[in-house]
A = this chain, B = another copy of it.
């Protein structure tokens, strides 16, 4: 039994609130336990220089934490004058993960930027960001679709992420901060609706892990991600159907 009385394969309460920003093309406020992330999607009718003239779109992400999202206050990266390695790593991960389910030519020469701002952090901020950003991105794609700017819906499958880890010798799903800080193994899993891996990042700095543990962690991850995706489907409603159809078409 874990702190908060959760089972090892149990997620914290998940809440997704849509349209929380009056300007963004897509926005969602995601809460997973006490981790709270504001995700907005911005559509711009241009692509970065390295993508120009290819007839394809681009999806990118930025991640940040408010200074007091954590137990003690963190210096702002704007005041430091540069991003930390941790931030760069996370925002590269979010962007890469989202692009894996986007048909970039179908998006056209546009950029969708997902801003994931952590309002409060209690473990799993990067996985929560991916899960929330997917929803904001889908809403933005839907808006483009409603404006008749897209001939094909560009999202090819659902995508969500959870963290798993070995805490007190037991593989568990969705670690909060307390669990994370004493975990021997820490793994982030990103999967599609079809159950395929997009990212798998496991670290055993404090204690290497064997294949048996790896298999258990991955199974927990699959479980948690399917539950996350059902939350996404609920909030997305009819937009979810577009993804399901596109997903089926790809597989057909």
Assuming A64-B76, A120-B22, is B198 touching A208 (CB within 8 A)? Answer: yes
Contacting A205 at CB < 8 Å: which of B91, B99, B194? Answer: B99
List residues 140-168 of chain A with CB under 8 A from any CB of chain B.
none
Count of residues in A whose CB is under 8 Å from the partner chain: 68
The answer for the CA separation of A197 and B201 in the assembled complex, in Å, is 11
Contacting A113 at CB < 8 Å: which of B73, B78, B119, B195? Answer: B73
A contacts with B: majority SS: mixed
Question: Are the C-beta atoms of B218 and A200 separated by less than 8 Å?
Answer: no
Which residues on B sit within 8 Å (CB–CB) of A99? 205
Contacting A214 at CB < 8 Å: which of B71, B120, B197? Answer: B197
Contacting A78 at CB < 8 Å: which of B64, B86, B218? Answer: B64
List residues 217-251 of chain A with CB under 8 A from any CB of chain B.
218
Assuming A42-B68, A68-B23, is B82 touching A78 (CB within 8 A)? Answer: yes
The answer for the CA separation of A200 and B164 in the assembled complex, in Å, is 14
Question: Are the C-beta atoms of B211 and A194 separated by less than 8 Å?
Answer: no
Which residues on B sit within 8 Å (CB–CB) of A210? 195-197
The answer for the CA separation of A113 and B201 in the assembled complex, in Å, is 24
Assuming A66-B38, A67-B115, is B209 touching A203 (CB within 8 A)? Answer: no
Contacting A199 at CB < 8 Å: which of B21, B195, B203, B218? Answer: B203
Which residues on B sit within 8 Å (CB–CB) of A13? none
Which chain B residue lies CB-closest to A209? B197
Which residues on B sit within 8 Å (CB–CB) of A125? none
Judged by a CB distance under 8 angstroms, whether A34 is at the interface is yes
Could you list 29 A-B pairs, sorted by A, with CB under 8 Å?
A21-B69, A21-B119, A23-B68, A23-B120, A38-B66, A42-B73, A62-B67, A62-B79, A64-B76, A66-B117, A67-B113, A78-B78, A81-B81, A85-B85, A85-B92, A86-B92, A88-B88, A99-B205, A187-B200, A195-B210, A196-B209, A196-B210, A197-B204, A198-B205, A198-B208, A199-B203, A200-B201, A201-B202, A211-B218
Taking Cβ atoms with an 8 Å cutoff, the residues of A that contact B are 21-24, 27, 34, 38, 40, 42, 44, 62, 64, 66-73, 76-89, 91-92, 96-97, 99-100, 113, 115, 117, 119-120, 122, 187, 191-192, 194-206, 208-211, 214, 218
